[in-house]
Amino acid sequence: MTRRLILDVDTGIDDALGIMLAVKSGFFQIEGITTVNGNVSLQQATLNTCKITEFLGASSIPVIPGADKPLIRKPVFEHRVHGNDGLGGALLDMQPSKRPEAGFGPDFIVETVLRYPGEVTLVMTGPLTNLALALHKCPDLIHHVAEVFFMGGVAGGLGNITPTAEYNAYVDPEAARTVLHAGFRKLTMVGLDVTRRALLRADDIAKLTDPRIREYVADSTSAYFDRYEERNGVRACAMHDPLAVAAAIHPELVTTKPYYVDVETRSELCDGQTVCDFQNRLGRPANVEVCMDLNEQAFIQLFVDTLNRPEAG
């Protein structure tokens, strides 16, 4: 059986690194990359995704624009972290010949999953709007998707956009709730408390052998390193989205446990906070495989080795 992948991104410095990992690994047949409003506008996320795929020599991968806003809320961009362009100023002058497809991301997800029942893995690294819209259109999708991995939420720890909420869950908590309660056979949450421990450092970047790729990664992450150091006292780039991609490729890099997880949507202070019922106080069945830990060294090694592969994937 062919392992097929749809990546859903709001490209984003770390989304771009996740795309690079997925493409260079060659592990999945990438059916398409759907884009969503998030770190930057839909239009910018789509442009960035076209740039990255072309940069990787992977222009044949379809890029399909999805939702240009959350289900019911206003967009909340993250220019502070990702820069005005979303790629930290890297590839700023690139004018890609690659163009996005004419379709709509959520429709593409539905059509592709139904075309290859049981074969398509979804890796979601932006707000979950596109998947929620796909589920509204086709609730049956849950029976036909192989697996879903999403970078979002925080199981036990601090938020990164409010004191309690992780960015992707905060931007569209109604979409996150739809996905959490949809009933997927396997839904893995790669949350912030774990991705914060997946740190790429300058000496890891120095190990990238292709000078184009090394320069791109150094360029796009340089301001990100500064901001991460200001806030966390460590000079590194947190690899949130690449870890979700890596978990889909090599599940043994992370450990997971099944829990009931929900998300707050009606609180002035805590909207977007994911609540993981570690002690089963609500008495509800587990709906999520929650990432609890990772092998950081093996993950960074995988990232570097994969980007050092000579072939495009």
User: Toward Ca ion, which CB reaches closer, 100 or 126?
Assistant: 126
Residues forming the site for ligand BDR (CB under 6 A): 12, 14-15, 39, 78, 81, 125, 151, 160, 166-168, 192, 240-241
User: Toward ligand BDR, which CB reaches closer, 104 or 150?
Assistant: 150
Q: How many CA atoms lie within 13 A of 22 on its CB side?
A: 36
Smallest distance, Ca ion to C-beta of residue 193, A? 16
Q: Catalytic residue at 136?
A: no
Smallest distance, ligand BDR to C-beta of residue 203, A? 23
Q: Which does 81 bind (CB under 5 to 8 A by kind): Ca ion, ligand BDR, none?
A: ligand BDR
Smallest distance, Ca ion to C-beta of residue 72, A? 20
User: Toward ligand BDR, which CB reaches closer, 61 or 239?
Assistant: 239
User: Toward ligand BDR, which CB reaches closer, 48 or 125?
Assistant: 125
18 binds Ca ion (CB under 5 A): no
User: Toward ligand BDR, which CB reaches closer, 19 or 302?
Assistant: 19
126 binds Ca ion (CB under 5 A): yes
For residues 193 and 240, the answer to whether their CB atoms sit within 8 Å is no
3-state secondary structure the chain: CCCEEEEEECCCHHHHHHHHHHHHHCCCEEEEEEECCCCCCHHHHHHHHHHHHHHCCCCCCCEEECCCCCCCCCCCCCHHHHCCCCCCCCCCCCCCCCCCCCCCHHHHHHHHHHHCCCCEEEEECCCCHHHHHHHHHCHHHHHCEEEEEEECCCCCCCCCCCCCCCHHHHHCHHHHHHHHCCCCCCEEEECHHHHCCCEECHHHHCCCCCHHHHHHHHHHHHHHHHHHHHHHCCCCEECHHHHHHHHHHCHHHEEEEEECEEECCCCCCCCCCEEECCCCCCCCCCCEEEEEEECHHHHHHHHHHHHCCCCCC
Task: Name the one range near Ca ion by CB under 5 A: 74-82, 124-132, 153-161, 184-192.
Answer: 124-132
Task: Name the one range near Ca ion by CB under 5 A: 3-11, 93-101, 104-112, 218-226.
Answer: 3-11
Smallest distance, Ca ion to C-beta of residue 10, A? 5
Residues in 25-44 at the binding interface with Ca ion, rule: CB under 5 A? none
Active-site position among 82, 143, 181, 240:
240
For residues 86 and 47, the answer to whether their CB atoms sit within 8 Å is no
Smallest distance, ligand BDR to C-beta of residue 76, A? 10
Task: Name the one range near Ca ion by CB under 5 A: 48-56, 239-247, 278-286, 291-299.
Answer: 239-247
Residues that bind Ca ion (CB under 5 A): 10, 12, 15, 125-126, 241
* Active centre residues (catalytic): 240
